[in-house]
């Protein structure tokens, strides 16, 4: 026998019987036989969507003094040693299981019930309300429990991310990504049998809590795997889910949902610690730290990489975007695209002539920032490779970052004049048309850029990238595992 706060389970032979407790906890009221019968029937119906051969049906037992028979859920008994959580703890290979779970979850999400009531729970405002409710509940515990030190930063990062991402959440609803899902996907409730895994115990007491973005549903298990010390398995599972569901979500949203699930668990652990549960306060701190790491990684950023021609800005931009796994936008390529010519086709002209007049340059930067705005609103971080010579253009980038609630980082590449000249002389044909003469003319008019972080690119590229990463991610290497898009993930 074992107990939860709402049920008692009896294990007899190859069967398990689950009886609802006659309790009223506010979010559930099982004080009548009829309410318990309805809850048992609902649990069987909902869980058969994931494990039809485990949830055998609704039963009842008759006590000698009972006024009415007591309803119960009748289940196949699952072998405890085959729990996914136990296999993770023992270091067993679980990639095949995680791949199958990801495929089954994606398959359910593809056909799961949808509609206005379901979609309402996937809006930005609905997610924000859930975050804020958790914040309020934690602050209410301040008199009886020590709140996580990182709570203020968590609140700031959550509100900043959600503030600029209306377009992202609207797109998720339009894509049909908000579904009637599982709602409580834990490694403890996944059993790895020889003929495939069984997924048990979906959330049945409140439909609204089960109406989630499919990625949020998957993130629950990813968070749990990470707490079990299997961060690589968590990233692998989310990548497989993204593959099977053909989900175009940006990595920032993956991290945000993992953070949300970790924070909810942190809140529950803090409540349990107040009730005297051993180890619960330490668990709460650990979970809050996990939420913070993922929120930091999910922060959307606009990084400007500028400098004179030959300063190494394009090389650094490409390496930085690749290291961060974010989108790279180039003024050189944008300019040629606007002109309707291939990026590699030469458009060499004198200083401020041809495609490089002030008018063409203004048009180029406007298009560059317009493209960045779309990406940032959709949760994609961006690296913008341009000279950023004009303070007005930099001001426009600052306004864009403010409008999209993105973190703005400016990097100013520089090298000695002789290095710059040598690079321009030796550079192969590409999107840039700058010559040593143009670079010299620009150098004579280069305005100050005091807010930018100077980056010397005359040495090894890795050193310059490290300097840039320190500016972009000042919180260092304690970041959450980087969940990349499926096509970037090795199988």
Domain boundaries, the chain: 2-76, 80-298, 301-475
Q: CB atoms < 10 A from the CB of 426, how many?
A: 8
Question: Using CA atoms, how far apart are residues 125 and 166, in angstroms rounded to an integer?
Answer: 9
Residue 419 binned pLDDT confidence (cut-offs 50, 70, 90): confident
The confidence score (pLDDT) of residue 476 equals 66
Helices (H) and strands (E) in the chain, counts: 19, 14
Residue 26 binned pLDDT confidence (cut-offs 50, 70, 90): confident
Q: CB atoms < 10 A from the CB of 53, how many?
A: 10
The confidence score (pLDDT) of residue 489 equals 36
The confidence score (pLDDT) of residue 421 equals 82
Average pLDDT value for residue range 193-199 = 96
Tell how strand 211-213 and strand 301-306 pair up: unpaired
Q: Tell me if domain 80-298 and domain 301-475 are identical in fold.
A: no
Which residue, 95, 344, 31, is CA-closest to 240? 95
Q: Is 482 exposed, middle or buried (0-12, 13-18, 19+ CB in 10 A)?
A: middle
| Secondary structure of residue 383 in the 3-state scheme | strand
The confidence score (pLDDT) of residue 480 equals 54
Q: Contact, 187 vs 142, CB < 8 A? A: no
- 80-84 contacts at long range (C-beta below 8 A, 24 or more positions apart): 82/191, 82/192, 82/193, 83/187, 83/188, 83/189, 83/190, 83/191, 83/192, 84/187, 84/188, 84/190, 84/191, 84/192, 84/197
Distances (CA, A) of 161 to 87, 304, 379, 486: 35, 20, 8, 23
Tokens of 463: 């050193």
Average pLDDT value for residue range 326-331 = 95
Which residue, 29, 58, 56, 23, is CA-closest to 41? 58
Distances (CA, A) of 224 to 166, 169, 280, 336, 359: 28, 24, 16, 48, 54
Q: How many residues does the chain have?
A: 491
- Average pLDDT in the chain: 91
Q: Contact, 407 vs 301, CB < 8 A? A: yes
Pick from 73-82, 353-362, 396-405: least confident: 353-362
pLDDT tens-digit readout, 144-188 = 778 889 999 999 999 999 999 999 999 999 999 999 999 999 999
Distances (CA, A) of 424 to 309, 428, 432, 437: 8, 9, 10, 10
The confidence score (pLDDT) of residue 6 equals 87
Distances (CA, A) of 290 to 5, 295, 309, 424: 26, 9, 42, 46
The confidence score (pLDDT) of residue 491 equals 34
Distances (CA, A) of 408 to 257, 299, 382, 383, 404: 23, 11, 10, 10, 10
The confidence score (pLDDT) of residue 198 equals 97
The confidence score (pLDDT) of residue 63 equals 82
Question: Using CA atoms, how far apart are residues 391 and 153, in angstroms rounded to an integer?
Answer: 31
Query: Given a cut of 70, is residue 479 above it in pLDDT?
Result: no
Residue 490 binned pLDDT confidence (cut-offs 50, 70, 90): very low
Architecture of 80-298 per CATH? Answer: Alpha-Beta Complex (3.90)
357 CB contacts (<8 Å, ≥6 apart)? none
Which residue, 217, 387, 374, is CA-closest to 310? 387
The confidence score (pLDDT) of residue 9 equals 95
Q: Give percent above pLDDT 90 in the chain.
A: 75
Tokens of 482: 């980087």
160 CB contacts (<8 Å, ≥6 apart)? 299, 405
Average pLDDT value for residue range 204-223 = 95
Residue 486 binned pLDDT confidence (cut-offs 50, 70, 90): very low
Residue 63 per-residue DSSP state: -
Residue 488 binned pLDDT confidence (cut-offs 50, 70, 90): very low
Query: Given a cut of 60, is residue 481 above it in pLDDT?
Result: no
pLDDT tens-digit readout, 392-416 = 999 999 999 999 999 999 999 999 9
Backbone angles phi, psi at 179, to 5 degrees: -140, 170
Q: Work out the widest C-alpha separation in the chain, in whole angstroms.
A: 100
Residue 406 per-residue DSSP state: -
What sections of 346-445 are H helices per DSSP? 358-377, 391-403, 417-426, 436-443
Average pLDDT value for residue range 192-203 = 96
Query: Given a cut of 70, is residue 487 above it in pLDDT?
Result: no
- CB hemisphere CA count around 167 (13 angstroms): 13
Distance of CA 299 to the CA centre of its chain: 9
69 CB contacts (<8 Å, ≥6 apart)? 60, 61, 62
Q: Give percent above pLDDT 70 in the chain.
A: 97
pLDDT tens-digit readout, 233-285 = 999 999 999 999 999 999 999 999 999 999 999 998 988 888 788 888 899 99
Q: Is 226 exposed, middle or buried (0-12, 13-18, 19+ CB in 10 A)?
A: buried
The confidence score (pLDDT) of residue 423 equals 83
Rg of the chain over all Cα atoms, to the nearest angstrom: 27
pLDDT tens-digit readout, 371-396 = 999 999 999 999 999 999 999 999 99
Which residue, 384, 427, 434, 377, is CA-closest to 409? 384
Q: CB atoms < 10 A from the CB of 487, how many?
A: 8
Query: Given a cut of 80, is residue 310 above it in pLDDT?
Result: yes
Q: Contact, 456 vs 464, CB < 8 A? A: yes
Average pLDDT value for residue range 288-304 = 96
| Secondary structure of residue 464 in the 3-state scheme | helix
Adjacent-strand bridge partners of 211: 180
Backbone angles phi, psi at 7, to 5 degrees: -150, 160
What sections of 121-185 are H helices per DSSP? 124-140, 151-163, 166-174
Average pLDDT value for residue range 486-491 = 35
Adjacent-strand bridge partners of 3: 8
104 CB contacts (<8 Å, ≥6 apart)? 50, 197, 199
CATH number of 301-475: 3.40.50.300
Which residue, 51, 136, 121, 100, is CA-closest to 221? 100
């Amino acid at each position: 026998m074992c107990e939860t706060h709402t049920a008692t389970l009896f294990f007899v032979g190859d069967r398990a019987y689950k009886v609802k407790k006659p309790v009223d906890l506010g979010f559930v009221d099982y004080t009548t036989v009829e309410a318990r019968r309805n809850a048992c029937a609902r649990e069987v119906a909902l869980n058969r969507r994931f494990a039809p051969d485990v949830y055998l049906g609704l039963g009842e037992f008759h006590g000698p003094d009972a006024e009415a028979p007591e309803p119960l859920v009748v289940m196949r008994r699952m072998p405890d040693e085959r729990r996914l959580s136990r296999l993770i703890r023992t270091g067993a290979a679980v990639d095949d299981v995680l791949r199958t779970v990801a495929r089954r979850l994606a398959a359910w999400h593809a056909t799961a019930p949808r509609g206005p009531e379901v979609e309402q729970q996937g809006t930005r405002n609905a997610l924000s309300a859930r975050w804020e409710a958790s914040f309020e509940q934690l602050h209410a515990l301040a008199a009886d429990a020590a709140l996580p030190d990182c709570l203020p930063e968590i609140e700031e990062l959550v509100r900043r991310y959600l503030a600029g991402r209306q377009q992202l959440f609207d797109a998720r609803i339009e894509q049909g990504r908000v579904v009637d899902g599982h709602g409580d996907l834990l490694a403890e409730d996944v059993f790895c049998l020889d003929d495939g895994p069984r997924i048990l115990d979906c959330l049945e007491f409140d439909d609204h809590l089960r109406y989630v973005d499919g990625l949020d549903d998957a993130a629950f298990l990813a968070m749990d795997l990470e707490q079990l010390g299997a961060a690589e398995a968590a990233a692998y599972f989310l990548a497989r889910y993204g593959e099977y569901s053909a989900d175009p979500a940006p990595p920032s949203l993956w991290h945000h949902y993992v953070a949300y699930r970790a924070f909810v668990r942190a809140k529950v652990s803090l409540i349990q610690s107040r009730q005297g549960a051993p180890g619960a306060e330490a668990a709460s701190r650990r979970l809050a730290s996990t939420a913070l790491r993922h929120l930091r990684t999910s922060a959307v950023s606009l990084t400007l990489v500028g400098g004179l021609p030959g300063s190494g800005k394009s090389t650094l931009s490409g390496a930085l975007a690749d290291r961060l796994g974010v989108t790279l936008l180039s003024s050189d390529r944008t300019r040629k695209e606007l002109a309707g010519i291939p990026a590699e086709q030469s458009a060499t002209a004198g200083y401020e002539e041809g495609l490089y007049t002030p008018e063409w340059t203004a048009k180029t930067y406007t298009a560059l920032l317009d493209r960045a705005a779309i990406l940032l609103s959709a949760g994609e971080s961006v690296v913008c490779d341009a000279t950023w010579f004009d303070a007005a253009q930099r001001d426009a980038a600052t306004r864009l970052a403010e409008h999209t609630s993105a973190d703005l980082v400016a990097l100013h590449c520089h090298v000695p004049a002789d290095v710059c000249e040598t690079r321009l002389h030796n550079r192969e044909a590409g999107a840039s048309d700058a010559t040593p003469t143009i670079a010299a003319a620009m150098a004579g008019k280069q305005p100050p850029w005091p807010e930018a972080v100077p980056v010397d690119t005359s040495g090894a590229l890795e050193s310059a990238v490290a300097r840039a990463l320190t500016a972009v991610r000042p919180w260092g290497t304690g970041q959450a595992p980087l969940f990349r898009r499926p096509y970037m993930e090795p199988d």
